[in-house]
């Protein structure tokens, strides 16, 4: 039926959705000896170190879709939720002007003047209501320039600059507004302002039909007001369990099976893997776009170029475990450092707060992203990255104790960057595939969202598309 390339969470999800719909055997090819992609949890003397993603959001259609999948593979009782009243859900900070500043968490906070902002956040609403409409009908722009025009410079620099770091380790001055705020961007174009658009849309706008996904775990997440959740034993339990599940439902998972070429023929598509040819009716690709670009270059150079134009960044994550509890002055999710502050780190996650670890303090320092090479060169040593991380922890969190255990992870090309023009590029890629009738179905982080929920949902959509043919 179809061969699947890539054994990260997206490829495994594709195998899961496909195996639910068809009875023929499915083959999944993973280039390395591990499944799970960037989701990697390791046990260190009883503590869990996550090198990549560690939590998932339950909200929205994509969030509910992931909960449904988790329930259906029997992981409901392994979910560790963080509810609305938890410190990790309420306290998020940004480091500006030499201080950790709590971001507003309650509605009434928008009327208060909270540093580092020089005015109450309600001033940003007034700014939007009074700022002129952009007269040029832009197809796209950077999220920084859009937010600066509509809500003012401080919101763009501090709030959006750091948020984009926390989501894709990217530069808000390069990332497309459509990455996070497509509806708000359209509101301005249609109504002249974001809030004007929100009000008019709620009164007169047509309501889009939202996919209904129900389930016991979803109901529990709503009842208990989950904000984020992790899994007992670490997030890697998700790809591990998904892999066991699909292996029991007719999917053959091949390890150390890197694809080196894809050849499209009139009635089949052939993937060359370790020198052997594997024919199928279709291919679902969940591998990074730059890797897929190499595989199709010979037959489809134009498609290859479009795929190659999606750039990726490197992120270093440094896990630290201190043999002492309560080293943090303010318990919370952690803090982000906006790029305008120009420090060598992007942020720090307070893992011991998020995961209720008593007696010890666990942190993860995030570094690099869009600024990896600028700050650390092309090939920094693990020791150098660790030294920088420890120095920043000492300066910002005033923790001068030496960590008992550390782990440095350098994640090369881990997050795709949805730069201005990304949506047009993705449209061009899909148009090319359609016009050339290629039996190629795309999922993964490169196209329609970089989060765990996004990539699982992208696999569901890729399978849906394949089954339509
Ligand atoms: C390896 C670093 C990652 C950075 N962003 C992501 C990864 C994997 C992906 C990501 N992180 C967040 C989102 C938003 C939606 C969501 O699914 O929650 C996405 C797509 C939010 C987020 N940011 C940080 C954390 C711990 C989370 C929760 C989700 C997760 O566990 O990844 C902190 C953080 N992430 C990055 C940086 C630089 C950073 C800074 C403190 C980059």
Query: Which sequence spans correspond to the domains of the chain?
Result: 2-41+234-310+419-468, 98-204
- C-beta of 451 in contact with ligand 1 (< 6 A): yes
Structure confidence at residue 200 as a pLDDT band (50, 70, 90): confident
Take atom 14 of ligand 1 and give the residue whose Cα is closest.
167
Q: Is the CB of 8 under 6 A from ligand 1?
A: no
Percent of the chain with pLDDT over 70: 100
What mean pLDDT comes out for the span 17-25? 94
Atom of ligand 1 nearest to the CA of 451: 20
Name the token pair of 427: 């449209």
327 lines ligand 1 (CB under 6 A): no
- CB distance 368 to ligand 1 below 6 Å: no
53 CA from centroid of ligand 1 (Å): 6
What does the radius of gyration of the chain's CA atoms come to, in whole angstroms?
A: 23
pLDDT in tens, 67-83: 999 999 999 999 999 99
pLDDT > 90 fraction of the chain, expressed in percent and rounded: 89
Quickly list H helices, 27-171: 60-72, 87-90, 122-130, 143-151, 153-154, 161-168
- Taking a C-beta distance cutoff of 8 angstroms, is the pair 95, 343 a contact? yes
* Residue pointed to by tokens 């598509």: 269
What ipTM, to 2 d.p.? Answer: 0.95
Mean pLDDT of 388-405: 97
At residue 416 the predicted structure's pLDDT band, cuts being 50, 70 and 90, is very high
Taking residues 222-242, report their average pLDDT: 98
Ligand 1 touching residue 194 (CB < 6 A): no
428 has pLDDT over 90:
yes
The reported pLDDT for the residue numbered 204 is 81
CB of residue 346 inside a 6 A radius of ligand 1: yes
Q: Which residue's CA is the nearest one to ligand 1's atom 16?
A: 451
Confirm or reject: Cβ of 88 under 6 Å from ligand 1: no
Least confident residue range of 56-60, 199-203, 248-252, 289-293: 199-203
Round the average pLDDT of the chain to a whole number and report it: 96
More confident residue, 206 or 162: 162
98-204 has the same fold as 2-41+234-310+419-468: no
Q: Are 315 and 372 in contact (CB under 8 A)?
A: yes
* 6/46: higher pLDDT: 6
Where residue 321 falls among pLDDT bands split at 50, 70, 90? very high
Q: Estimate the share of the chain in helix, then strand, then coil, as percent rounded to the nearest 5.
A: 40, 25, 35
pLDDT class for 257, splitting at 50, 70, 90? very high
Residue 339, sorted as left (phi over 0), alpha (psi -120 to 50) or beta, turns out to be: alpha
Cis ω on the peptide bond leading into residue 136 (within 30° of 0)?
no
Residue 184 pLDDT > 80? yes
Q: Is the CB of 9 under 6 A from ligand 1?
A: no
pTM of the predicted protein model: 0.96
**What is the spatial distance between Cα 101 and Cα 93, in angstroms, rounded to a whole number?**
5
- The verdict on the CB of residue 37 being under 6 Å from ligand 1 is no
Which residue has a Cα nearest atom 30 of ligand 1? 53
| CATH of segment(s) 2-41+234-310+419-468 | 3.50.50.60
- Give the residue-averaged pLDDT of 41-66: 96
- C-alpha span between 156 and 183 (Å, rounded): 17
For the stretch 323-367, pLDDT in tens is: 999 999 999 999 999 999 999 999 999 999 999 999 999 999 999
pLDDT reading at 208 higher than 80: no
pLDDT digit string, tens, across residues 93-144: 999 999 999 999 888 888 999 999 999 999 999 999 998 888 777 899 999 9
What pLDDT, on a 0 to 100 scale, did the predictor assign at position 46? 86
Longest dimension (CA), the chain: 65
Q: Per CATH, the architecture of 98-204 is what? A: Orthogonal Bundle (1.10)
Mutation choice for ligand 1 from 444, 451, 457, CB with most ligand atoms inside 8 A: 451
Q: Is the CB of 169 under 6 A from ligand 1?
A: yes
């Amino acid at each position: 039926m179809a061969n699947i390339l890539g054994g990260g969470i997206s490829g495994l999800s594709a195998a899961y959705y496909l195996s639910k719909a068809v009875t023929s055997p499915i083959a999944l090819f993973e280039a390395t000896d591990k499944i799970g992609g960037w989701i990697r949890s390791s046990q260190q003397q009883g503590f869990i170190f996550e090198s990549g993603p560690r939590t998932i959001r339950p909200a929205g259609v994509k969030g509910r879709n992931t909960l449904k999948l988790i329930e259906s593979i029997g992981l409901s009782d392994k979910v560790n939720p963080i509810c609305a009243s938890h410190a990790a859900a309420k306290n998020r900070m940004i480091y500006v002007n030499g201080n950790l500043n709590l971001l507003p968490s309650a509605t009434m906070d928008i009327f208060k003047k909270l540093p580092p902002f020089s005015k109450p956040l309600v001033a940003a609403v007034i700014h939007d209501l009074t700022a002129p409409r952009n007269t040029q009908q832009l197809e796209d722009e950077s999220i920084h320039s859009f937010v600066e025009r509509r809500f003012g410079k401080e919101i763009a620099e501090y709030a959006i600059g750091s948020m984009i770091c926390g989501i894709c380790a990217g530069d808000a001055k390069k990332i497309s507004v459509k990455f996070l705020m497509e509806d708000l961007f359209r509101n301005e174009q249609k109504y002249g302002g974001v809030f004007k658009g929100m009000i008019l849309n709620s009164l007169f706008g047509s309501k889009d039909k939202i996919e209904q996904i129900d389930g016991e775990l979803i109901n529990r997440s709503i009842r208990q007001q989950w904000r984020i959740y992790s899994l007992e034993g670490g997030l890697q339990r998700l790809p591990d369990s998904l892999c066991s599940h699909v292996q029991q439902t007719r999917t053959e998972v091949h390890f150390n099976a890197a694809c080196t070429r894809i050849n499209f023929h009139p009635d089949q598509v052939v993937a060359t893997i370790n020198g052997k040819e594997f024919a199928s009716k279709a291919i679902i690709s969940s591998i990074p776009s730059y890797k897929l670009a190499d595989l199709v270059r010979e037959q489809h150079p134009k498609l290859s170029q479009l795929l190659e134009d999606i750039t990726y960044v490197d992120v270093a994550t440094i896990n630290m475990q201190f043999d002492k509890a309560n080293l943090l002055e303010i318990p919370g999710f952690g803090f982000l450092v906006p790029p305008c502050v120009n420090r060598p780190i992007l942020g720090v996650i307070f893992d011991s707060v998020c995961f209720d670890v008593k007696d010890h303090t666990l942190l993860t320092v995030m570094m690099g992203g869009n600024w990896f090479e600028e700050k650390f060169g092309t090939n920094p040593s693990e020791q150098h990255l660790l030294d920088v991380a420890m120095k920043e922890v000492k300066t910002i969190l005033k923790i001068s104790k030496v960590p008992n255990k550390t782990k440095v992870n350098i994640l090369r090309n881990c997050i795709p960057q949805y730069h201005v023009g990304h949506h047009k590029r993705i449209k061009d890629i899909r148009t090319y595939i359609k016009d050339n009738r290629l039996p190629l179905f795309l999922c993964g982080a490169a196209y329609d969202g970089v989060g765990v929920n996004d990539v699982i949902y992208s696999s569901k959509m890729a399978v849906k598309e394949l089954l339509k043919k």
